[in-house]
A and B are shown apart, each in its own frame.
Chain A
Amino acid sequence: MKRTSPSSYDEMLDADGSVRAAYAGYSDWLDEQPPGLLKRKGIEAEAFFRRTGITFNVYGAADAEERLIPFDPVPRIITANQWRKLSRGIEQRVRALNAFLHDLYHRQEIVRSGRLPERLLRDNAAYLAQMAGFTPPGGVYTHIVGIDLVRVGEDDFMVLEDNARTPSGVSYMLENRETMMAMFPELFTRVRVREVSDYPRRLARSLAACAPAAFAGDKPTVAVLTPGIYNSAYFEHAFLADQMGAELVEGSDLKVENGRIAMRTTKGWQPVDVIYRRVDDEFLDPLSFNSSSVLGVAGIMDVYRSGGVTIANAPGTGISDDKAIYSFMPEIVEFYTGEKPILSNVPTWRCSEPDALAYVLDNLSELVVKEVHGSGGYGMLIGPTSSKKEIAAFEAKLRARPDNYIAQPTLSLSTVPIFTKAGLAPRHVDLRPFVLVSPHGIDITPGGLTRVALKKGSLVVNSSQGGGTKDSWVLDD
């Protein structure tokens, strides 16, 4: 394998082309395999994904066909040591996020102390007034968090984004591992990799630990609320409900009854204690938010506030993963934990600030500019790979609404080899570890979802933009 972009850190090979320690076991195994093995297994994996229906729907695709997220059979490997450091940083950050949310919806000490401008909350649709003064069951706001990390050096992981609303992708983390174990069983006897398969059980336990005040009994009823089979992540909703032994409900299955949320079962209406919702805040309750929503439950916010049901993640958590807030995360971590942040942020220019805007406008061709409320890789500019015309068009939008944007340097994301027709070739990756929060603590599944830009040189890893995924390994000590 040849290094193609000498400026970025390759996770398998060092500058001299020697295999790094993390990949030593894998590389030895790979050298012994017959030629054509990866190709054959790749074809098998695709057939397997189609048969099992591990597909996603692309928004706006004309034929509304279900697509596969391409799966690459070369694992992404992290050593036990690297992971230890990383998970300390993640734990600290998630702890801070929950403390931050509690503060935002109560005394707002961080604003009073002058460390966070008040306008960020005032003008922010993700800040829900309905949550003010209310503490969710168990004090947990973000039951499930996905922290998007990029790596730029041996020990240099940075947080690109916090996903504190309804992070998705965990089913791919689980299925990718299942697929790898089915394709290369002997590989797992040679390289000891930490388990991920008990994530659904841990999720179920974590959710059950946050039962609402009205719950009486020994086992809370947990339901996954999905927008339905046409949602892009429906597979994941069904998968998680199935694995947790929870009900998979739609808004039309639920109603408010005697101060509780009840689901229509074949035996009549029965109470639900914890709702793991995969429906955005806006659609959760037509009485409180978007009145035309049919995806939610009319009156659920009242039930929630009076202790009749737990909603996970709590409504209003989006305020903490807002990109404008993101730029304050180092201060936020320090404010609530009293510690220096272990994980650093990517340097961020807030275009709402005149000096920053001037710098960004002068350097558009070298920066990545993102919408403050955007996600999924939509509505962003990647300066270095954009044409003059595209940059000019974006500049107009930026000038019209500077406070809608932030800018970051184009990072040289680390690369990991993928399997191509021409053999192994490096491609840029990120990593989304999944974090569970319950009153008992913070639980991080070792590894996460590695997304990989399949196009040579590309930095866009989003599945909606042609990215693929890899199994992510954390080595056992």
Chain B
Amino acid sequence: MLGRSANGIFWLFRYLERAENTARLVDAGFRMALTRDSRDAREEWRSVVTTLGMQEDFEEACGTEYQGAQVFNFVLRDKGNPASVLAMIEAARTNARMVRTVITREVWEAVNESWMLLKEILGRTVNETRLGDVLDTIRRQSTQVRGAMEGTMLRNDIYNFARLGTFIERADNTARILDVKYYVLLPSLSPVGSSLDNVQWENVLRSVAGERAYRWLNAGQMDPKGIAEFLIHDERFPRSLAFCYGKLRSNLDYLARDYGTTMDAQTIQRECQDRLLATGIEAVIEQGLHEFIGDFLACNNRLAQQIQRDYRFID
């Protein structure tokens, strides 16, 4: 396949993944803000914006108040925000048009329909009443594209590049959530056992759609160390770092077998994965979660760039 097409499909799925994760993060922020006084609610919204790396753009556009409706409109649809959900969906659709010949008609239609629908519902200001529906729609559309892909795409290199894009982005997003929320999870900093903590912890899980899974695995008990471990190490949870790295490994292995050559990206992937799995949660906390995540994000980024080089995404 063309290097340009591999690049297109890789980014198509990165943008879709980012749009979906952004919606989850806003959803979690919204729930949290509803149960807080206005000062805490502002803090919650601020952390959403920080996690998304939009702090500078947001403050320039809207000031430092972090008022709820302002935040979610900025994050979801503001024309001045190049990383808004709407901009992501548009970028995804542009990439899908570009790689129209390597995706199935069903995948293309699912992407195109998502764009048509979201362009419409994000075309006007979102208020608090409509927010839930809007976020639901974003998630549902993402699910539809994924379903079309699972059900209709050949399991070949094209599929591998789509998956690589998905899991590079997902690992990045989960790590960022952990990074911003780490103070909530740090045992030494949080007063133990209060109901407030439980809500905050649950909210971290909610932003990665992991609250039910975690409760089910832990009989309803919330424990910050356990949550951090769940998000980093649990290979059963599809948004954990370990899960993403398992998938990155198998997709790179498929590619190596298909192409008959091992690439540098595989070496980097193994390094990152080995470090991830070898560092137990105690050691992570000892080292400092922030530093650990910082190293991980750098490694993840290095891997993404190596994939683009190895497979000639650009000239």
* Chain A residues packing against B (C-beta within 8 Å): 50-53, 228-229, 234, 238-239, 241-242, 246-250, 252-253, 263-268
Are the C-beta atoms of A238 and B312 separated by less than 8 Å? no
Instruction: Please state if B259 and A267 are interface contacts (CB–CB under 8 Å).
Output: yes
Return the CB mask of B300-315 against A: 1 if under 8 Å, else 0: 0000000000011001
Residue pair A264, B3 in contact (C-beta under 8 Å): yes
A246 and B158 CA atoms in complex are apart in Å by 15
Closest to B6 in A: A266
B157 at the interface (CB under 8 A from A): yes
User: Are the C-beta atoms of B101 and A241 separated by less than 8 Å?
Assistant: yes
Complex-state Cα separation, A242 to B99, whole angstroms = 10
Cβ–Cβ < 8 Å partners of B94 in chain A:
229
Q: What residues of B have a CB within 8 angstroms of the CB of A52 in the complex?
A: 105, 108-109, 112
Contacts of B315 in A (CB 8 A): 252, 264
The answer for the CA separation of A52 and B103 in the assembled complex, in Å, is 13
With a cutoff of 8 Å between Cβ atoms, the chain B residues found around residue A253 in the complex are 2-4
| Cβ-based interface call for B113 (8 A) | yes
CA distance in complex: A37, B285 (Å)? 68
Contact with A along B141-169 (1 / 0, CB 8 A): 00000000000000001000100000000
B116 interface residue (CB < 8 Å to A) = yes
Residue B98 is within 8 A (CB to CB) of chain A in the complex: yes
Are the C-beta atoms of A53 and B97 separated by less than 8 Å? yes
Q: Name the contact of A242 in the complex, choosing from B101, B161, B259 (C-beta under 8 A).
A: B101
Tell me if B113 and A51 are in contact (CB < 8 A).
yes
* Residue of A whose beta carbon sits closest to that of B160: A266
B100 at interface, CB cutoff 8 A: yes
Cβ-defined contact, B112 with A265, below 8 A? no
Number of interface residues of B (CB under 8 A): 22
**Chain B 16-47 interface residues, beta-carbon cutoff 8 Å to A:** none
B259 x A248 contact (CB < 8 A): no
> Is the CB of B217 closer than 8 A to any CB of chain A?
no
Chain B residues, CB < 8 A from A247: 1-2, 101
Q: List 9 A-B contacts (CB under 8 A).
A: A229-B97, A238-B97, A239-B100, A246-B101, A247-B101, A253-B3, A264-B2, A266-B259, A266-B312
Contact between chains at A265 and B100 (CB < 8 Å): no
* Cα separation A229 to B116 with both chains bound (whole Å): 18
Would you give the shortest CB distance from A49 to chain B, in whole angstroms? 11
> Do B100 and A242 touch (CB < 8 A)?
yes
- List chain A residues, Cβ under 8 A from B105: 52
Closest to A224 in B: B101
* Cα separation A242 to B106 with both chains bound (whole Å): 13
In the docked arrangement, what's the CA distance between A248 and B8, Å? 13
Q: Which residues does chain B contribute within 8 Å of A246, judged by CB atoms?
A: 101
Q: Which residues of A contact B112 (CB under 8 A)?
A: 51-53
Distance (Å) between the CB of A201 and the closest chain B CB?
Answer: 16
Q: Which residues of B in the span 94-127 have a Cβ within 8 Å of any Cβ on A?
A: 94, 97-98, 100-101, 105, 108-109, 112-113, 116
Are B311 and A266 in contact, with the CB atoms below 8 A? yes
Tell me, in angstroms, the Cα distance from A241 to B101 when the chains sit together: 7
| In the complex with contacts A51-B109, A229-B97, A242-B101, A250-B312 CB distance below 8 A | no
- B97 touches which of A234, A250, A263 (Cβ 8 Å): A234
Residue in B closest to A270 when the chains form the complex, CB atoms: B2
Q: Are B100 and A266 in contact (CB under 8 A)?
A: no
**B2→A266 contact, CB < 8 A:** yes
A268 to chain B, nearest CB (A): 7
CA distance A268 to B3 in the complex (A): 8
A264 touches B4 (CB 8 A): yes
Q: Which of B228-245 contact A (CB under 8 A)?
A: none
- State in angstroms the CA–CA spacing of A219 and B101 once bound together: 19
B109 & A265 in contact (Cβ 8 Å cutoff): no
Q: How far is the CA of A346 from the CA of B270 in the complex (A)?
A: 71
In the bound assembly, the distance between CA atoms of A264 and B2 in angstroms comes to 6
- Top 9 closest A-B pairs, CB basis? A238-B100, A266-B311, A242-B101, A248-B101, A264-B3, A241-B101, A266-B6, A53-B112, A229-B97
For the A-B complex with A51-B109, A264-B2, A265-B3 known, give 15 more contacts whose Cβ atoms are closer than 8 Å: A50-B116, A52-B112, A238-B101, A239-B100, A248-B100, A250-B4, A253-B3, A263-B2, A265-B1, A265-B312, A266-B1, A266-B157, A266-B259, A266-B311, A266-B312
Residues of B near A265 (CB, < 8 A) are 1-3, 312
